[in-house]
Structures are given as structure tokens and as C-alpha cells.
């Protein structure tokens, strides 16, 4: 009887502890990357112009493809007993979730390593969190990723917004009429349609550089309906509204999809990747869409 009572007590304690620990959060990283697929395209070189690469004989180079971890580009290591994803950056490509996600809060920690690869040897170290990803990889300029929105993860550019392939959105920004000047996000700016079918190219600069160079950085993405918020080290740096994509000649809402982590010519590390469902836009972020 004592053994049964003790066993029951242990089970109750474990269940209680687990409930308090996760608080609705689901871990997306494990040692086997069991919740992810991978795609690798090419070892890009300087002078790439958006066309499929060719070898010295002028023959088209075929992409590495799906779930072929050439050069161990993606690997799991341990740091203080926790799983950490290492991405070497040597071959362009991505990890992408097996599952589609909609109406969620995603959080993770990220930092850059030291190695860089062509064609970005003289460029800032670069990666990215791509969300609402749909279709097949390889539809972008670099022929490496799915159609998506990008939460930029780059030295000096944490939280910038990029359209990947035929996506678009409405973002409040300074300098919306000028194509020469950089569009900069501002909660007090002019709401501007940009990206596919929009008035500007598919890039908007964050409103403040919150990166901690050389350290682990906290990144959070909040998505609900056609709205999304980019948060870096606790500060909102970008708000994206009326998300859409182009399907043939039609523009359609883009509100869900897979999550991609870019492999883009830089060594980068990710850890503590968690996600939870949302029933509404958290009250503290509603102001960004008024």
C-alpha cells in the first residue's frame, strides 16, 4: 500500500511540475530534429544572378535536395545539457517544420558563430526565421526557400522584414513613397502596401537595433490572423499587417504555414525553440495595428 501511495504521489508531482514548466509551450527542438525536414539547394558563389547555377562545363547544377544532410550542415549539439541546433551555412537551404502553424507565439534564442561562406564573405552574417511558409522550397531568388514572410536574423538587421517570393503585407513606415530611400518601420508611420503587387520592394528596416552582438539573442514572433509582430530582446521592432500572397493572378490571405530556419552562408546556432497557440492578439500588441 505504501509503495502504491508513493508511486501515485510521484506521478502527481511529475504531472504538476510538467504543467507548470511548459505553461502551454511546446518544444520544437530535440536531439533527433524529429519535428523538422530539411532542404539544401546549392553552394552559391559570387556573381550569382538568380538563375540556376552551372558548373565549369555550363551544365545545370542540381540542388542537393530533401533530407540529404550533405556536409553535416544541420546538427544537434549539447550546451549545458540542452539541445542546440548548429547550422554551418555552407550550403544554402533550410530546416522547415513538418507541421503548419496558425495563431501562435514562437520564441527562440539565436547567436552567430564565426564562419562565413561565399557569396557572403564580405557581408554581415545572415540567417532568418521564415513564417507562413507554403509550397515547395526553391521559389525565391536564391532557389533555397519556400514562399514566406521573413523575420530577418542578420548582424545589424535583427527583426527586419523581407518578402520571400510572391508575398506582401501592409507595414507602417517612413519614406513610403521613395523607392531609393530605405523604408523604416514606425508605429506612427504611413501604412504602406509593399512586396508583391505593392508600392515598394519587399524589404522594410526595423525601427531599432536591439541585437546583442556575439551573445545569445531572444527572438519572439507573434502571429494572429493576418497580423504578425517581430520582437528582439523584448522590444517590438516590426509589425506586419494584412498579410497576403499572390497565387496566379489572385491575391489571397496568408495566415498560416510552416516555419523555416535559413542556412545562408553563416554559422548560426538556435536553442530553446518553443511555440504555443494563441486565442487572440495579446492586448499589449493591439496598439500596433490601430
Look at residue 36 and tell me if it is in a domain. yes
Give the model's pLDDT for residue 56. Answer: 87
Of 159, 116, 113, nearest in space to 270 by CA:
113
Look at residue 16 and tell me if it is in a domain. no
Give the Cα separation of 223 and 148 in Å (integer): 13
- Predicted TM-score (pTM) of the model is 0.90
Of 82, 78, 87, 75, nearest in space to 268 by CA:
87
Residue with cell 521613395: 178
Give the model's pLDDT for residue 177. Answer: 67
Residue with cell 533550410: 94
Look at residue 7 and tell me if it is in a domain. no
Look at residue 5 and tell me if it is in a domain. no
Look at residue 1 and tell me if it is in a domain. no
Look at residue 158 and tell me if it is in a domain. yes
Look at residue 4 and tell me if it is in a domain. no
Cell of 48: 550569382
Give the model's pLDDT for residue 199. Answer: 82
Local structure of 13: helix, strand or coil: helix
Local structure of 15: helix, strand or coil: helix
Count how many domains the chain has. 1
Give the Cα separation of 47 and 173 in Å (integer): 32
Give the model's pLDDT for residue 63. Answer: 96
For the chain of 290 residues, list the mean pLDDT of each consecutive stretch of 10. Answer: 45 37 86 97 88 88 96 96 96 98 98 97 98 97 97 98 97 75 88 91 94 98 98 98 97 98 98 97 91
Give the model's pLDDT for residue 5. Answer: 44
* Domain span at 99: 25-289
**CATH number of the domain that 129 lies in?**
2.60.120.560
Amino acid at each position: 500500500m505504501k509503495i502504491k501511495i508513493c508511486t501515485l504521489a510521484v506521478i502527481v508531482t511529475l504531472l504538476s511540475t510538467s504543467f507548470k514548466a511548459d505553461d502551454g509551450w511546446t518544444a520544437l527542438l530535440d536531439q533527433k530534429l524529429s519535428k523538422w525536414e530539411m532542404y539544401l539547394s546549392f553552394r552559391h558563389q559570387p556573381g550569382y544572378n538568380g538563375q540556376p547555377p552551372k558548373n565549369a562545363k555550363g551544365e545545370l547544377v542540381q540542388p542537393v535536395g530533401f533530407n540529404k544532410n550533405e556536409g553535416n550542415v544541420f546538427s544537434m549539439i549539447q550546451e549545458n545539457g540542452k539541445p542546440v541546433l548548429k547550422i554551418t551555412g555552407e550550403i544554402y537551404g533550410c530546416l522547415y517544420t513538418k507541421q503548419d502553424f496558425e495563431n501562435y507565439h514562437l520564441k527562440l534564442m539565436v547567436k552567430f558563430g564565426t564562419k562565413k561562406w561565399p557569396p557572403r564573405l564580405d557581408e554581415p552574417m545572415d540567417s532568418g526565421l521564415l513564417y507562413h511558409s507554403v509550397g515547395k522550397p526553391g521559389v525565391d531568388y536564391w532557389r533555397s526557400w519556400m514562399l514566406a514572410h521573413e523575420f530577418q536574423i542578420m548582424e545589424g538587421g535583427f527583426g527586419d522584414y523581407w518578402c520571400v517570393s510572391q508575398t506582401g503585407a501592409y507595414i507602417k513606415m517612413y519614406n513610403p513613397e521613395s523607392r531609393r530611400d530605405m523604408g523604416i518601420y514606425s508605429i506612427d508611420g504611413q501604412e504602406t502596401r509593399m512586396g508583391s503587387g505593392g508600392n515598394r520592394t519587399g524589404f522594410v528596416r526595423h525601427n531599432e537595433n536591439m541585437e546583442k552582438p556575439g551573445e545569445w539573442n531572444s527572438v519572439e514572433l507573434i502571429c494572429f490572423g493576418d497580423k504578425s509582430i517581430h520582437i528582439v530582446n523584448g522590444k517590438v521592432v516590426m509589425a506586419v499587417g494584412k498579410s497576403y500572397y499572390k497565387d496566379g493572378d489572385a491575391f489571397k490571405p496568408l495566415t498560416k504555414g510552416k516555419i523555416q530556419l535559413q542556412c545562408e552562408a553563416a554559422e548560426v546556432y538556435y536553442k530553446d525553440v518553443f511555440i504555443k497557440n494563441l486565442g487572440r492578439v495579446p492586448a499589449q500588441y493591439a496598439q500596433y495595428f490601430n
